[in-house]
C-alpha cells in the first residue's frame, strides 16, 4: 500500500467518524425538548459527552420527541463505530486479497492496460481509455512510482524489475491487456518491455517509445516482424520526432514564399536532442535541392545536442551546406552577433527553428530572433518555438509554437502516418511488380510493409510528411471529404522533381553515394543525380510517388482540392465585402477559396481580419511598406493577428506589394465585390 492511499483511507475513516459524531449530536438535540433558559451551555456539554459515549460504547438512545429526522440521525450516529469497523475490514480485505483477485481476473479475462512510464507521459493514455478501465502502472524508478501514486493512488503500481521482467508482466496479465505501453525515458528498457510482451501469445496492442535514432533503427524492424508474426498491432513513436514534424508544418513549408525564389536558407538555434532531430528532418526533406543546394545555419547554445558523428554525417551527405556556430546563450550580444552573421551573409531566411532544454528557453530564443531580424530590417520568416503551450508570442505574428504530443496523440499520429506510408509503399510494390516481372522480390524494398527495413519505412513516412509541402507548391491542399482533383501534367512533373530531391536527400543522409552501378554493400546508387539527368523509367518512379498523394489523402479521410485564388487590390465597403464573401462561399466543390491581398495599409489589414473572421483563407502579400505598419501601435497588433492566422504569406521585393497580386491570383474582385476580372 502506497503512503498516499493509506492517507486517503485514514482520511475517509476520520471523515466518516466526524459525520457519525455529528449525526449523534444532532439526533440528541432533535430528540430532546428545548433546554430551559440558562441551561443551554449545560445541555451542550451533556449532549457532547453523550454523543461521544454513543460512539464509544455502541449504545443506543430513545427519541423522546419522536422526531423522525432526529431518530434516524441518532440511530445512524450510534452505529458509527460498527460502520467504521466494517469499512476498515473491507479495506483490509481489499488490500490483502481483493487486489490479487483483481489481478487474477486481469490474467484470466484481460481488458485492462499495462502502462510503463512516468505519470506525465502516461496521463493521456490513461485518460483516453476512461476511468473504468483497469490500469496497471509500471514505474521506471521509485520517484516515478511516488509521482504516479500521487496522481492515481488506487491504481496498481509497481517498479519495473529488469531481472524478472517476463514474470512481472505475466503477473499483471500483460499478454491479455488491451494495451501494453513501453514508454519509459529509457529506450533500452522499452525494447526489453516490448520483447518480453511479445514473448507470449496475445492480441493486445503494443505502444513502444524510442527516442534515439540508432536504437529505433536497430530495434524497430525486429519488433515489427515479431509483432506481425504474433498478429499483434504495434506502434513505435518518438515524441521528439513527432514534435519536429509538427514544427516543419508550423514553418509553413511551401506556403511562405519570397519573390525571385531565392536559395533555401533555414536556421536552427538552441540546444537539446531536438536540435539534431530537427536538423536531420529538415535536411531529409530536400527543400530547394531540386534547384540549388540549400543552406542550414545551426547555432548551438548548449551541449549534448548532437550524437557523436552526427554532425559529420550531416555535413558529408552533401544534401545541404552546413554552417555550424557555437554560441554562449548567457550572452545576449553574442547571440545577436551570431544571428546577424547568419542572416546578413545569406539573406533571406525561409524559416527559423528554436529549441531548448526547457520550453521557456525555446520561447526566449524565438523572441530574440524576431527582435534581431526586425532591427536588421530583414523579412521575418516563420519562427518555430518548440515549446509546451501554444500561445501568441512576439510582436509580428510570425512566431509559431510546435508543442509536443502526449502519448495518446502520438499513438494516433503514428497510426495515421503509417497508414499513409503504407499507401505509398503499396503503390511502389504494384509498379515494381509490373516493371520487373519475375525479378520482382529480389530488391530489399520489394517486401510487405511489416517486413520492410526501418530505413525504407521511414522513407515512405517522409513521402507522407511532404504531402502538404508538395501540394502547397502547386496551390493545392488536402481537406476533409471525398473526390480528389488530380494535379495537371505540368504540376505532376514539378512534384516529381520535388519527390526526387527528397529521395536523394534521404539516401545521402543514410550514407549512399552516386555510382554508375547500384551496389548495396558499397551503398552506391546510379539515380543520385539531378532530376533532368535521370532516365525516363527512373523519372516514372517519382511520378508514381506523386500519384500516391490522392491515396494518402483518402486514408486520412481527405480529398485533394485546388485553390481558387482571388485578388483584392483595394479595400471593400460593407456591402461589397458581403457580396465578395458570398461569392467565395459559393465556390464549386473541387476548389477552396483563397483571398490574396497586400497588407500595405491599415484598411487592407482590417479587410484581412474581416475575411479571416468570415472563415475565408487569405494569402498575405508583404512589401517593404508593411514594415512601417509594425511601428504603428494602432495597427501592429491587428497585423500580427492576421499574419498569425494567414493561410499563405508571400514577401514581395518592392515597396508596393500590390503588383505581386497579378502573379499570385487568377482573378480579382472589383470595387463592388464582384469577381469578374482576370488578372
Q: Does any domain span residue 101?
A: no
Amino acid 309: pLDDT: 86
Is 80 exceeded by the pLDDT of residue 54?
no
Burial of 227 (0-12, 13-18, 19+ CB in 10 A): buried
Look up the CATH number of the domain holding residue 366: 3.40.50
- Count of Cβ atoms closer than 10 Å to residue 475 Cβ: 19
* C-alpha to C-alpha distance for 616 and 213, rounded to whole angstroms: 41
602: confidence class by pLDDT, cuts 50, 70, 90:
very high
Is 50 exceeded by the pLDDT of residue 679?
no
Count the alpha carbons within 13 Å of 495 in the hemisphere toward its beta carbon: 27
| DSSP string covering 387-442 | -SS----SSSS-EEE-PPPPHHHHHHHHHHHHHHHHHHHHHHHHHHHHHHGGGTT-
Mean pLDDT of 350-377: 93
Q: For residue 315, give the C-alpha cell.
A: 555535413
Question: Are 536 and 582 in the same domain?
Answer: no
Is 90 exceeded by the pLDDT of residue 612?
yes
- Count of Cβ atoms closer than 10 Å to residue 219 Cβ: 21
Question: Are 34 and 73 in the same domain?
Answer: yes
- Return the ∠ at Cα 405 (arms to 618 and 269), rounded to 5°: 75
Question: Are 615 and 502 in the same domain?
Answer: no
Amino acid 5: pLDDT: 73
Give which of 177, 198, 184 is closest to 133, Cα–Cα: 177
Of 353 and 441, the one with more pLDDT:
353
Amino acid 327: pLDDT: 87
* C-alpha to C-alpha distance for 406 and 675, rounded to whole angstroms: 45
pLDDT tens figures, 126-161: 887 755 458 899 999 988 988 888 888 878 888 999
* C-alpha to C-alpha distance for 319 and 302, rounded to whole angstroms: 25
Residues 6+ apart with CB under 8 A from 1: 95
Amino acid 134: pLDDT: 83
Q: Does any domain span residue 134?
A: yes
Q: For residue 29, give the C-alpha cell.
A: 438535540
Of 202, 237, 272, which residue is a domain's last? 237
Of 458 and 583, the one with more pLDDT:
583
pLDDT tens figures, 474-505: 999 998 888 889 899 999 999 999 999 999 99
Give the N- to C-terminal CA distance of the chain in Å, as an integer: 75
pLDDT tens figures, 66-78: 677 777 777 777 7
Amino acid 133: pLDDT: 55
Question: Are 541 and 573 in the same domain?
Answer: no
Q: Does any domain span residue 485?
A: yes
Amino acid 30: pLDDT: 72
Question: Are 73 and 124 in the same domain?
Answer: no
Q: Does any domain span residue 95?
A: no
Q: Does any domain span residue 94?
A: no
Is 90 exceeded by the pLDDT of residue 617?
yes
Amino acid 1: pLDDT: 61
Question: Are 389 and 413 in the same domain?
Answer: no
pLDDT tens figures, 243-299: 998 999 999 999 999 988 889 999 999 998 889 989 999 999 999 998 889 999 999
Amino acid 200: pLDDT: 86
Is 80 exceeded by the pLDDT of residue 393?
yes
* C-alpha to C-alpha distance for 108 and 381, rounded to whole angstroms: 58
Amino acid 60: pLDDT: 61
Question: Are 375 and 323 in the same domain?
Answer: yes
- Cβ atoms of 262 and 294 within 8 Å: the answer is no
558: confidence class by pLDDT, cuts 50, 70, 90:
confident
575: confidence class by pLDDT, cuts 50, 70, 90:
very high
Boundaries of domain holding 250? 243-401
Question: Are 282 and 367 in the same domain?
Answer: yes
Question: Are 11 and 41 in the same domain?
Answer: yes
- Count of Cβ atoms closer than 10 Å to residue 444 Cβ: 10
pLDDT tens figures, 191-239: 999 999 998 888 889 999 998 878 888 898 899 889 988 889 998 999 9
| DSSP string covering 523-571 | TEETT-S-GGGS-HHHHHHHHHHHHTHHHHHHHTTEEEEEEEEEEE-S-
Residues 6+ apart with CB under 8 A from 230: 198, 201, 202
- Cβ atoms of 494 and 473 within 8 Å: the answer is yes
Mean pLDDT of 649-653: 89
Q: How many domains does the chain have?
A: 5
Question: Are 250 and 383 in the same domain?
Answer: yes
CA distances from 53 to 17, 20, 61, 79, 204 (A): 13, 12, 11, 11, 57
Q: Does any domain span residue 569?
A: yes
Share of the chain above pLDDT 70, in %: 95
Q: Does any domain span residue 254?
A: yes
Of 189, 211, 237, which residue is a domain's last? 237
Q: Does any domain span residue 413?
A: yes
Q: For residue 326, give the C-alpha cell.
A: 557555437
pLDDT tens figures, 103-116: 888 888 888 999 99
Look up the CATH number of the domain holding residue 225: 3.40.50.720
Q: For residue 302, give the C-alpha cell.
A: 548548449
Amino acid 379: pLDDT: 92
* C-alpha to C-alpha distance for 154 and 335, rounded to whole angstroms: 50
Is 60 exceeded by the pLDDT of residue 24?
yes
How big is the chain, counted in residues? Answer: 679
Give which of 596, 643, 652, 646 is closest to 623, Cα–Cα: 652
| DSSP string covering 586-604 | T--TTEEEEEEEE--SHHH
Is 50 exceeded by the pLDDT of residue 177?
yes
- Return the ∠ at Cα 310 (arms to 326 and 386), rounded to 5°: 65
Question: Are 429 and 397 in the same domain?
Answer: no
The secondary element (H helix, E strand) that includes residue 358 is none
Question: Are 588 and 654 in the same domain?
Answer: yes
Of 526, 555, 584, which residue is a domain's last? 555
* C-alpha to C-alpha distance for 235 and 239, rounded to whole angstroms: 12
Amino acid 520: pLDDT: 84
Is 90 exceeded by the pLDDT of residue 613?
yes
Residues 6+ apart with CB under 8 A from 637: none
Is 90 exceeded by the pLDDT of residue 123?
no
Amino acid at each position: 500500500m502506497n503512503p498516499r492511499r493509506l492517507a486517503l483511507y485514514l482520511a475517509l475513516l476520520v471523515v466518516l467518524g466526524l459525520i457519525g459524531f455529528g449525526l449523534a449530536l444532532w439526533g440528541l438535540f432533535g430528540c430532546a425538548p428545548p433546554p430551559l433558559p440558562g441551561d443551554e451551555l449545560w445541555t451542550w456539554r451533556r449532549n457532547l459527552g453523550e454523543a461521544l459515549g454513543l460512539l464509544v460504547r455502541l449504545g443506543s438512545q430513545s427519541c423522546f420527541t419522536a422526531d423522525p429526522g432526529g431518530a434516524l440521525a441518532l440511530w445512524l450516529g450510534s452505529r458509527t463505530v460498527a460502520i467504521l469497523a466494517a469499512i476498515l475490514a473491507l479495506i483490509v480485505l481489499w488490500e490483502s486479497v481483493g487486489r490479487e483477485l483483481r489481478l487474477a481476473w486481469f490474467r484470466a479475462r484481460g481488458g485492462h492496460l499495462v502502462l510503463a512510464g512516468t505519470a506525465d507521459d502516461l496521463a493521456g493514455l490513461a485518460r483516453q481509455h476512461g476511468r473504468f478501465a483497469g490500469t496497471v502502472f509500471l514505474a521506471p524508478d521509485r520517484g516515478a512510482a511516488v509521482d504516479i501514486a500521487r496522481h492515481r493512488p488506487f491504481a496498481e503500481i509497481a517498479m519495473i524489475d529488469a531481472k524478472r521482467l517476463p514474470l512481472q508482466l505475466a503477473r499483471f496479465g500483460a499478454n491479455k491487456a488491451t494495451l501494453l505501453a513501453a514508454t519509459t525515458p529509457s529506450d533500452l528498457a522499452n525494447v526489453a518491455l516490448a520483447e518480453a510482451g511479445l514473448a507470449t501469445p496475445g492480441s493486445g496492442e503494443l505502444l513502444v517509445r524510442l527516442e534515439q535514432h540508432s536504437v529505433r533503427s536497430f530495434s524497430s524492424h525486429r519488433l515489427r516482424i515479431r509483432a506481425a508474426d504474433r498478429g499483434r498491432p504495434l506502434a513505435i513513436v518518438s515524441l521528439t520526432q513527432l514534435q519536429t514534424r509538427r514544427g516543419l508544418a508550423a514553418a509553413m513549408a511551401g506556403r511562405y514564399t519570397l519573390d525571385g525564389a531565392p536559395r533555401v536558407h533555414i536556421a536552427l538555434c538552441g540546444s537539446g536532442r531536438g536540435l539534431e532531430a530537427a536538423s536531420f528532418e529538415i535536411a531529409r526533406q530536400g527543400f530547394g535541392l531540386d534547384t540549388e543546394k540549400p543552406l542550414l545555419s545551426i547555432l548551438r547554445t548548449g551541449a549534448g545536442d548532437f550524437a557523436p558523428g552526427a554532425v559529420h554525417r550531416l555535413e558529408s551527405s552533401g544534401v545541404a551546406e552546413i554552417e555550424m556556430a557555437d554560441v554562449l546563450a548567457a550572452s545576449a550580444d553574442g547571440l545577436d552577433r551570431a544571428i546577424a552573421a547568419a542572416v546578413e551573409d545569406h539573406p533571406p531566411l525561409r524559416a527559423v527553428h528554436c529549441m531548448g532544454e526547457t520550453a521557456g528557453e525555446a520561447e526566449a530564443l524565438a523572441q530574440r530572433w524576431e527582435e534581431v531580424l526586425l532591427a536588421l530590417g530583414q523579412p521575418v520568416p516563420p519562427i518555430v518555438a518548440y515549446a509546451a503551450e501554444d500561445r501568441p508570442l512576439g510582436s509580428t505574428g510570425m512566431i509559431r509554437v510546435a508543442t509536443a504530443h502526449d502519448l495518446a496523440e502520438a499513438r494516433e499520429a503514428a497510426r495515421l502516418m503509417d497508414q499513409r506510408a503504407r499507401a505509398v509503399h503499396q503503390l511502389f510494390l504494384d509498379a515494381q511488380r509490373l516493371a520487373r516481372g519475375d525479378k520482382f522480390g529480389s530488391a530489399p524494398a520489394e517486401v510487405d510493409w511489416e517486413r520492410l527495413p526501418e530505413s525504407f519505412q521511414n522513407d515512405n513516412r517522409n513521402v507522407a510528411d511532404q504531402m502538404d509541402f508538395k501540394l502547397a507548391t502547386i496551390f493545392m491542399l488536402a481537406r476533409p471529404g471525398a473526390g480528389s482533383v488530380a494535379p495537371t501534367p505540368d504540376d505532376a512533373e514539378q512534384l516529381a522533381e520535388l519527390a526526387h530531391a527528397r529521395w536523394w536527400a534521404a539516401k545521402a543522409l543514410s550514407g549512399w553515394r552516386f555510382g554508375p552501378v547500384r551496389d548495396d554493400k558499397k551503398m552506391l546508387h546510379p539515380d543520385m543525380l539531378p532530376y533532368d539527368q535521370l532516365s525516363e523509367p527512373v523519372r516514372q518512379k517519382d511520378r508514381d510517388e506523386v500519384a500516391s498523394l490522392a491515396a494518402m489523402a483518402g486514408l486520412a479521410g481527405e480529398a485533394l482540392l485546388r485553390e481558387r485564388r482571388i485578388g483584392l487590390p483595394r479595400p471593400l465597403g460593407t456591402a461589397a465585402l458581403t457580396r465578395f464573401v458570398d461569392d467565395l462561399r459559393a465556390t464549386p466543390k473541387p476548389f477552396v477559396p483563397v483571398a490574396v491581398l497586400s497588407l500595405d495599409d491599415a484598411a487592407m489589414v482590417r479587410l484581412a481580419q474581416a475575411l479571416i473572421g468570415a472563415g475565408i483563407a487569405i494569402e498575405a502579400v508583404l512589401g517593404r511598406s508593411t514594415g512601417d505598419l509594425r511601428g504603428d501601435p494602432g495597427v501592429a497588433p491587428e497585423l500580427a493577428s492576421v499574419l498569425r492566422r494567414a493561410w499563405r504569406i508571400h514577401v514581395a521585393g518592392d515597396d508596393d506589394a500590390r503588383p505581386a497580386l497579378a502573379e499570385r491570383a487568377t482573378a480579382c474582385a472589383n470595387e463592388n465585390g464582384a469577381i469578374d476580372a482576370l488578372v
